[in-house]
Amino acid sequence: MLVLEKNNITEEIEQLVRKHGKSRSSLLPILQDVQRKHKYIPDFAQQEIARLLDIHPVEVYSVISFYAFLNTKPKGRNIVRLCKTITCDLAGKDNVAKMIERELGIKFGETTKDNRITLEYVNCLGMCDQGPALLVNERVYSKVTPEKAIKILNEIK
């Protein structure tokens, strides 16, 4: 990381600490702001948050790992999430997953090289009677077959 970028991150975290206050309870709002701006929380930002809030970096990391909406790595422009919970599993989630992985050439947990799509598994999306369920960004798709999954993927820019 360039020195300039590091300075920018330090300045940004200093501003967030001023905005939210220098206490443990500011940790989550600060992380949310960093996530919103960068789409993930860079390593150096985690170190700076720990330093400026005077807490251990492990504490910062454990909060990030606890919340699914906080990430330590950059993600793709689109997040495709397939339900892995039992009802969708029984409804054929594995076949959908295999087809998606083959089509994109990546595994779940990975991002395409062009940064277009990140694949993730999620727990129940509340569509159990219409599984397998797939969430593409904010939109839920139900009764997803391998063929339907390919169509959905092709519509993602």
Chain residues binding ligand FES by CB under 6 A are: 83, 85, 87-88, 124-128, 131, 133
Query: In which element (H, E) is residue 139 found?
Result: strand 139-141
Ligand-binding site membership of 124 (annotated): yes
30 annotated as belonging to a binding site for a ligand: no
- Is 128 annotated in some ligand binding site? yes
12 is in an annotated binding site: no
What does the alpha-carbon distance between residue 84 and residue 49 come to, in Å, rounded to a whole number?
34
Shortest Å, Cβ 136 to ligand FES: 14
How far, in Å, CA of 151 to CA of 6, rounded?
A: 42
CB-nearer residue toward ligand FES: 87 or 95: 87
- 45 vs 81 by CB, closer to ligand FES: 81
* Minimum distance, C-beta of residue 79 to ligand FES, in the bound complex (Å): 16
- Residue 10, SS3? helix
Per-residue exposure over 93-105, b if at least 16 CB sit within 10 Å of its own CB, e if not? beebbebbeeebe
Known binding residues for [2Fe-2S] cluster: 83, 88, 124, 128
